[in-house]
With several copies, the nearest count.
Chain A
Amino acid sequence: MSQPAPEIQVCVLSQPRLLGAVRAMLETFAERIGFCETRRGELVLAVDEAMTNIIRHGYGHAPDCRIWLSLRELPSPRRGIRVEIEDHQAAFDPEEVSGRSLDEVRPGGLGLHLIRQLTNVCRHERRSEGGMRLVIEKFCDDASTGPSPAGTQTPGAASR
């Protein structure tokens, strides 16, 4: 890749108790980049949801798998952050599982919806080494909550 190195790269074990430390790091990084409290809270939630999904659906709660994150300041003039979140799980098709309709009241089915809603760019890729890469971008001056429309409403179909 010809893009500059990420400012911060993290490899974290797939354990829920470690999520808080990653959130704290991202929150502080976003603050230094110039995100207001609301926007950085949204970014942190989106990334937390992605890690939560990997732990639950990707790794089925196995505590010794790995999640990789890279944090990058977006090049000016666009102020913002790109976060890439990678796993080594069996791939799933995010088009197939675009979250539930928000009009149903039931537990769950909210994660993918939140990730799309809270970010300016949100793209799933298959890694050539196996597993998935979720690329998220969030801009400092994102006035609305996210651009990406909720896709088709077919919850709970994918891997594991």
Chain B
Amino acid sequence: MTSVDAMTIVEEPRGDALVLRPIGDVDLSRSPHMRERLTKAIASPAKRLIVDLSKVPYMDSSGVATLVEALQHCRKAGKKLVLAALQPKVRSIFEIAKLTQVFDVVDKVDGAGA
């Protein structure tokens, strides 16, 4: 067993968008894996990435940092990054970090135009 865990991230293409649905806590042990998957998704033809956080009960700043980094890469690549369906605890870390304005945050994946 390595020190960094793989986590389940379900991928689902929707038109010109790609939905990524990580499942479980995103902490220091899992954010490297999420980072890898986001990097691949940004390199894919999809024009928009929708990160569905409905199955993420917990995220720490390493997860937030990973998403901020992905946002920067998306902007450079002319793509859109949308965060969908944040659970309350996860929403509040984005609020404290004043990042809810920076990201496109929607209540439901369907609201992300997917």
Contacts and interface: CB of A to CB of B under 8 A. Distances in A.
A45 B93 contact: yes
Interface residues of B, number: 29
Given A32-B5, A63-B3, A117 B61 contact: no
Contact of A16 (B4, B65, B99): B4
Interface string B1-43: 1111100000000000000000001011100000000000000
Given A63-B3, A102-B97, A114-B93, A48 B68 contact: no
A70 interface: no
Given A19-B28, A23-B58, A102-B97, A108 B65 contact: yes
Counting chain A CB atoms within 10 Å of each CB, which of B62, B66, B68 scores highest?
A: B62
Nearest to B60: A48
A17 B69 contact: no
A65 to B, nearest CB: 12
Counting chain B CB atoms within 10 Å of each CB, which of A16, A103, A106, A118 scores highest?
A: A16
A32 B7 CA distance: 11
Interface size class of A (residues with CB under 8 A): 35 or more
Interface stretch (A49-57, A85-93, A130-138): A49-57
Interface of A: 15-17, 19-20, 23, 32-34, 38, 41-42, 44-45, 48-49, 52, 55-56, 61, 63, 73, 102-103, 105-108, 110-111, 113-114, 117-118, 145
Interface of B: 1-5, 25, 27-29, 58, 60-62, 64-66, 68-69, 71-72, 88-89, 92-93, 96-99, 102
A-B pairs, top 4 by smallest CB distance, nearest first, are A16-B29, A107-B65, A110-B61, A16-B28
